[in-house]
Amino acid sequence: QSVLTQPPSVSAAPGQKVTISCSGSSSNIGNSYVSWYQQLPGTAPKLLIYDNNKRPSGIPDRFSGSKSGTSATLGITGLQTGDEAVYYCGTRDSSLSALWVFGGGTKLTVL
């Protein structure tokens, strides 16, 4: 059981837009920065979004992040087949004294 709640899967056609939600509480998302990671099959997680809505150098602006209260959202526009991956949200949880907690992951299928 993950501390942060994500939908297990989402799907959309190439070129379309998709959003992935991440729900938490006041002890985690409500009180800390949210990050998003992309994990392609057989590879390590890769940082997509940090500080709720900032993109590291090299991450295209098709990827966006937002946060409101105790929830966060990852948006991906102009979907490509190469975007098929599992996406994780992450943050800190003060009640668990856990410096990092993650969602269970969302599998994105580009139909």
Partner 1 sequence: QVQLVQSGAEVKKPGASVKVSCKASGYTVTAYYIHWVRQAPGQGLEWMGRISPNSGGTNYAQQFQGRVTMTRDTSISTIYMEFSSLRSDDTAVYYCAREGQWLEGDYWGQGTLVTVSS
Is residue 96 part of the contact set for partner 1 (CB under 8 A)? yes
Q: Which is nearer to partner 1, 16 or 95 (CB)?
A: 95
Q: Which residues contact 68 (CB under 8 A, 6 or more apart)?
A: none
Confirm or reject binding of residue 54 to partner 1 (CB under 8 A).
yes
Instruction: With contacts defined by CB under 8 A, name the span among 10-18, 22-30, 51-59, 75-83 that binds partner 1.
Output: 51-59
Give the nearer residue to partner 1 in terms of CB position, either 96 or 111.
96
SS3 (DSSP) at 29: helix
Length of the chain: 111
